Structure formats: C-alpha cells, structure tokens
Amino acid sequence: MGFLRLLLLVMVVAPWAVSSASPARQRLAVKRRLKRLNKPAVHSIQSPDGDTIDCVHVAHQPAFDHPFLKNHTVQMRPSFYPEGLNLERETRVESEERASSITQLWHLNGRCPENTIPIRRTREEDLLRASSVKRYGRKKQRRVARPSFAAPEPINENGHQHAIAYVEGDKYYGARATINVWNPKIQQPNEFSLSQLWILGGSFGEDLNSIEAGWQVSPDLYGDNNTRLFTYWTSDAYQATGCYNLLCSGFIQVSNNIAMGASIFPVSSYHGSQYDISILIWKDPKLGNWWMQFGNDYVLGYWPAFLFSYLADSASMVEWGGEVVNSEPDGQHTATQMGSGHFPDEGFARSSYFRNIQIVDPSNNLRTPRRLGTFTEQSNCYDVQSGDNDDWGCYFYFGGPGQSERCP
C-alpha cells in the first residue's frame, strides 16, 4: 500500500511541479530582461497611445551593454555628411507639409532634456507575446527579397512578400528616400506590414549584413496597430545578431527628440492629406560608422562599423519598398495591406510612394541611381511601378490590399 500511495503521489504531484517550475523560470527571465532593457530614467513621459517614454542619459543607453563598447566615446555628430545634402532645396510637397509636419505622439506630452535619449519602455506583456524572452526584439526569419535571382519563387520564403525597387552591382555607402506614411490593416496578430529601406552586404545566406529603417505596423512586437518608426540591423541574416530599435546593444543614439519604436502622427488618408518622412542612412568616410538621419532636422545616431563584416566596407545592394507576412496556409492569402492597401496605378493620395530616391556613391555624393530595378513575388497581390520627374526625381508607387478579387 505504501508503494502504491507513493506512485499515486508522483503521478499527481509531478506534473504540477513541472508546470509550476516553468512559469517561475519564465517570470525570472522576464524580470531580468526588463531590468536590462529599461534603463534608469532621468524623466518619463506618458504618450497618448499608452507608451511610456523614458529619457535615459546618453551614456546609460542599451548600446553600452555591448562588451566592445565599454570604453566607447560617443560620437555626437558625424565627421562628414554626404555631398549634395542640400536641405534648402525642398519639393512643393515638403514645403506644404512643413506647417503640419509629421511628429511622434509622445511629443504632445513633453520632450526629453539635453544629454538624454528617449526610449520606449518595454512592458512585461511585450516580452510574453514573443516566441521566447531570448528572441524578443528579433526577426524570426530571413526577411529580405532576392530580386537578383533570375527566377524567384511565386511566393517568397516563409510567407514574406515584397514590392520593392533596388540597385545592385556597385559599391554603395548609403541611401535616402522620402516615404509617405499610412496605417495598413493587419489581418492576424503575428503578421506585420512595413515600408523601409535596406542597406545590404554579403550574400543572402547566413552571412547577410543588413541595416534597415522605415515605418511598420506590428501587433506582435508592439501590442497595437499603430504606425511606428523603426530600425533593424543584423550581421548574420537575423540568426543571433541584431534587433529592432534599441532592444539590444549595438545602435548608439544621440538624438533626444525621436524615439525608435514610437508612434508616428499623423498618417496619410485615402484621397486626403498626405504625410511623409525622409530617411537617410550613410557611412561616415572618416570613422566608418553608419549614421541615420530622420527628416531634415534629426540625426538619430549610428551603427558602429565593428558590428558588421561586409558593411564594414560598403553595401552591395540597396532596396526600398514594402513587405508583409502572409500567414495563411494551403495557398490562401492574407488580407494584410501593404502601404495604403491600394495598388500603385491609383497614384497620388491613394497609393503609397517612395520619392526622391538617392544613393551615396564611393565619393560620398548623393545621386540618383542610374538603374532602378523593381521586384514583387505576386503583382496581383502587391505591385510596384517606378518613374521619374522634376519634382520627385526617381520615385515609385507600391502596395496593395493582399487577398482580394485579384489576389485569391
């Protein structure tokens, strides 16, 4: 009888003991990660969208958790800007929008003081939505289109679909573009929609280097459907290095005005007001760091050159455009929108665009690309159409609704 009671006790208690231990370990891992991500704040600002923006001293930001940055002296401004970056020359659209310029929602309730940077506070629920605490802030799989392949698959690997323009075949030291901002509908919480530029080096295998920036809607990452400014980097095709925004050590921010991962406001409306953002990424020819500028006024910070292998020298490809995730199985298609959710042939105030597209050449000059290719896996779902004119220079419209009469 004693043995049977012991056996019964093991059968009943052991499963409970195992299941309770796992959540306990998870809670400890979450607590440790939150402590690492949420640095002590000099001041905190409550954003109308529910975010908390912490103003953290420049020297205490997450970048300096990196072992190679322990004794790093922050470069508060780039040594050189690209030649041809003339901020006095504005297109008609830029001039009209200056009176009601795009901003971030948290600005409505305050700004961070000098010598601090704004960081969106990570919450426990953010970590719990991730596939694991360790993977929080990282892309799950490779998410770069491969337009140089002669015969791409009809549907991109892992359900990612693109509508992009690109250049390749030379050495590139940066890129610039102006992107109008929308709030596309997302069908499933594990899907996202983004518009961004990619600075790429290496192959599309396990050695891919990538620097990325733009806007995105990602319920899985942020817990809502707001349109947010984001950055990303990786030096090994999204395997173990890099992250979104400031969710790991690496990117060094110097601006106290713009918070990565924070909501952008206002956004464009169909057949209504159009709002856009300008992004410039370039390699400092003196120190080799990759800098990012947002709009005409905000130099955000830089990715140190040592983070990369191929990009320590230059990029071999630049891409601009949109990307979504199709999570539907068995050949079905998601109704997640790209860009405005409308096809490029609808044009201005209806479709999403990139305009004033430029690259930085080996002489540190901003110039229009000589040849701009385009690529999409399924043009009946998401498409891209390029052009050029005097006002917008090199440009393209892109996007689509996803699942529709044209896209089963």
- Residues serving a catalytic function are 212, 323
Quote the distance between the C-alpha of residue 375 and its chain's center. 20
C-alpha span between 175 and 82 (Å, rounded): 10
Query: 156: which 2 tokens?
Result: 């991109």
What are the residues whose beta carbons fall under 8 Å from the beta carbon of 205, sequence distance 6 or more? 237
Single-letter residue type at 204: F
C-alpha span between 210 and 199 (Å, rounded): 6
With H, G, I as helix, E, B as strand and everything else as coil, classify residue 67.
helix
Give the strand pairing for 315-325 and 383-389: unpaired
Q: Using an 8 Å Cβ cutoff, are 352 and 339 in contact? A: yes
Q: What is the DSSP letter of 39?
A: P
C-alpha span between 404 and 157 (Å, rounded): 21
* CA dihedral over 39, 40, 43, 45, signed as positive or negative: positive
Query: 348: which 2 tokens?
Result: 């201005």
Total residues belonging to the chain: 408
C-alpha span between 185 and 402 (Å, rounded): 10
C-alpha span between 304 and 148 (Å, rounded): 28
C-alpha span between 368 and 388 (Å, rounded): 10
Instruction: Name which of 230, 209, 206, 214 is nearest 305 in CA terms.
Output: 209
C-alpha span between 165 and 235 (Å, rounded): 22
What are the residues whose beta carbons fall under 8 Å from the beta carbon of 298, sequence distance 6 or more? 255, 257, 258
Instruction: Phi first, then psi: give them for residue 403, nearest 5 degrees.
Output: -55, 125
